[in-house]
Amino acid sequence: MRGNVSEIKWLTVTAITFTLTAITISAYALKRKWNNLNSKIEELETSLKSCSEKCASERQGRIRAQQALREEVTKSQPKSQNLNLTCYPMMPIGIVHSCFSTRNGTPRQPLLVPLARACLVFNTTRIPPASLEGLEEYSYCWILYVFHLNTDLEKLWKHPSKSGFKAKVRVPRLKGGRKGVFATRSPHRPCPIGLTVAKVEAVQGNMVLLSGVDLVDGTPVLDLKPYLPYCDSIREATVPNWLTEDNLLSVASISFSEDFTSALQNCWIMAEKKSLYASPGEFQSLIKQVLSWDIRSLSQRNRPHDALLKKENDASDVDEHQNETLVHEREQNAINSKEIVYHLILEGLDVSYRIDHDGNVIVENISPAVQDNKRSLFNYLPWKDKMQ
C-alpha cells in the first residue's frame, strides 16, 4: 500500500512539474510575442508620425510656392491690370438635360414652373458617383452654371476697353426700363455664371433628377450645393417695389384648340421614348404652366415679331445685344402679317400659340421640331420609373 501511495505522489508531483513547465514556456512565448507586437506598433506609430509630418511639410511647401508664384505674377504686370490677371481652373462637372430645348420659353426664375424637369448628368471621369451620396436627403439644391447660349460671349475675350460691356440692362418687369446689371438676374454679365435652385427628386448613380428648373437643355454645370433653410432663407430680406408686382408677367388665360389633343397624341408616339414625362396629359400640363407666364421677349411684347418668318431662330434671342437693323426688319414683317404666331420648343416639340392684347393665350398646334441628335442619345427612363 505504501508503495502505491508513493508512486501516486511521485506521478502527481511529476504532472504538476510538467504543467508548471508548460505554463512557464507558454508565458515566455507569449511575452516574446507581446514584446515583438509592441515593437512593431511603436515602429508603425513612428512611421505614421514621420509620414504625417512629411505631408504637413509638403503641404506648407506647396502653399508657400503658390503664394510666391502669385506674388511674382502680380509684380511682373502693371498695377492697372492686376485685377484682370487672376484666373482659376474651372471646368463643367456635368450637363443638364432639361425639357427646355431653347432659351425661348425657359422660365426667367426657378420654381415658377413646378413641372419643369431636368436630369443633371455628372462627368464620371472627374466626379465619381460617390460624390452624390447624401444629396437625396435634401429637398432642394443650389446649382451654379454657365450661360452658354449668350449671344455676346465673344465680348468676354476682348480687352475691357473694346468689349462694349453694358453696365445697365433692360428689365422685363419694368417694361424695358434699365437697371444696373448687378441689381438684376440678367444672363448678360461680366462673368456669365448663373445661380439657381431646384427641387431634388432623386439621385441615381451619376444623375440627379430635378424639378422646378429654369435651365435650358445642355447647360454646363460648375457646382452643386445643398439648400440649407436655416441660413439660405432670410425672413427679413427686402426687394424693390417693382419686384413685388407678380402679375406683370402673368397671362389672363390659356386655352387649347380643338385639334391640339389629337396633334399631341400623334407627336407622342415618337416623343415618348425620350421624354421626361409619363403621358401626353402631363406634357400638356407642362405647356400650360410654361405659358402661364408671358415668355415673350421685351421686343416681342412691345413690337411683335412673326416667329413664322424665321422659325429656326429663337424669338427670345432678339434683345438689346443684337443687331438693331435685324430687329427693325422683323418688326416690319410682323406688322405686315395677318396674325402673329409664336413658338415654344419643349423636348424637341414645336408648340405654336397666339396671344391677344388682353393676355389670353391660345395654343394652336404641336409638331416635331428640328431633330436634336445629341438629345436623342439620352435615356430619360429614370424619370418615368420614378413617376410610376
pLDDT in tens, 67-122: 777 677 666 555 544 555 567 778 999 999 999 999 999 999 999 999 999 999 99
Coil, helix or strand for 178? strand
Question: Which pLDDT value is given to residue 176?
Answer: 78
Closest CA to 108 of 66, 147, 138: 147
Question: Which pLDDT value is given to residue 195?
Answer: 97
DSSP secondary structure code for residue 228 in this structure: -
Of the given ranges (79-93, 303-317, 368-382), which has the lowest mean pLDDT?
303-317
SS3 of the chain: helix, strand, coil, percent, to 5: 45, 20, 35
pLDDT at residue 285 tops 80: yes
Of the given ranges (126-135, 171-180, 369-378), which has the lowest mean pLDDT?
369-378
| Residue 113 Cα distances to 54, 254, 349, 371, angstroms | 54, 15, 18, 25
Question: Which pLDDT value is given to residue 34?
Answer: 87
With a pLDDT cut of 70, the percent of the chain lying above it is 78
- Report how far residue 383's alpha carbon sits from residue 388's, in angstroms, rounded to the nearest whole number: 9
Greater pLDDT, 103 or 382: 103
Question: Which pLDDT value is given to residue 24?
Answer: 82
Of the given ranges (38-42, 120-124, 216-220), which has the lowest mean pLDDT?
38-42
Q: Are 107 and 116 in contact (CB under 8 A)?
A: yes
pLDDT at residue 256 tops 80: yes
Q: Rank 228-242, 337-351, 369-383 by mean pLDDT and report only the highest.
A: 228-242
The band of 319, judged by pLDDT with boundaries at 50, 70 and 90, is very low
Contacts of 20 (CB under 8 A, 6+ apart): none
pLDDT at residue 213 tops 80: yes
Average of per-residue pLDDT across 304-321: 43
- Report how far residue 379's alpha carbon sits from residue 111's, in angstroms, rounded to the nearest whole number: 24
Q: Which helix (H) or strand (E) holds 120?
A: strand 117-122
With a pLDDT cut of 90, the percent of the chain lying above it is 47
Contacts of 177 (CB under 8 A, 6+ apart): 170, 171
* pLDDT tens profile 337-358: 447 899 999 999 999 999 998 8
> What is the pLDDT of the chain when averaged over all its residues?
82
- pTM listed for this prediction: 0.71
Average of per-residue pLDDT across 226-248: 87
Question: Which pLDDT value is given to residue 76?
Answer: 59
